[in-house]
Amino acid sequence: ELKVEQNPLFLSMQEGKNYTIYCNYSTTSDRLYWYRQDPGKSLESLFVLLSNGAVKQEGRLMASLDTKARLSTLHITAAVHDLSATYFCAVRGYGTSGSRLTFGEGTQLTVN
């Protein structure tokens, strides 16, 4: 069974500081996704990482994937208040009914 773990689950950051969210997963996968969710809202796609060593950047967010270590990171540079949200990673796994995403528990980020 595919398990996806994020840490930290709660992150309080000061504006202007840098930090990293980690996403570990338990079985081989070549697709990893990062989503943002604001309170009471749906999920917004941030990044899709498709191969080992993939790195994508959008504004103050940068995501990377190491499939050998089964690890993805989401790096936040010079945090601003607008980045406060919950961030989920999700990994594509395979079951008897085809591919589907398994989500991590989410990291609730607050920028003070």
Partner 1 sequence: DAMVIQNPRYQVTQFGKPVTLSCSQTLNHNVMYWYQQKSSQAPKLLFHYYDKDFNNEADTPDNFQSRRPNTSFCFLDIRSPGLGDAAMYLCATRTTTNEKLFFGSGTQLSVL
* Interacting residue ranges for partner 1, rule: CB under 8 A: 31, 33, 40-45, 48, 50, 88, 92, 97-98, 100-106, 108
Measure the CA–CA gap between 27 and 90, rounded to whole angstroms: 13
Q: Which residue in the block uniquely carries the two structure tokens 């961030």?
A: 87
Measure the CA–CA gap between 15 and 11, rounded to whole angstroms: 12
By C-beta, is 18 or 99 nearer to partner 1? 99
By C-beta, is 14 or 42 nearer to partner 1? 42
In the complex, least distance from residue 84 CB atom to partner 1, rounded to whole angstroms: 15
In the complex, least distance from residue 75 CB atom to partner 1, rounded to whole angstroms: 21
By C-beta, is 77 or 108 nearer to partner 1? 108
In the complex, least distance from residue 62 CB atom to partner 1, rounded to whole angstroms: 18
Nearest to residue 91, comparing CAs of 53, 56, 55, 49? 49
Residue 39, Cβ density class (10 Å: 0-12 exposed, 13-18 middle, ≥19 buried): exposed
By C-beta, is 14 or 97 nearer to partner 1? 97
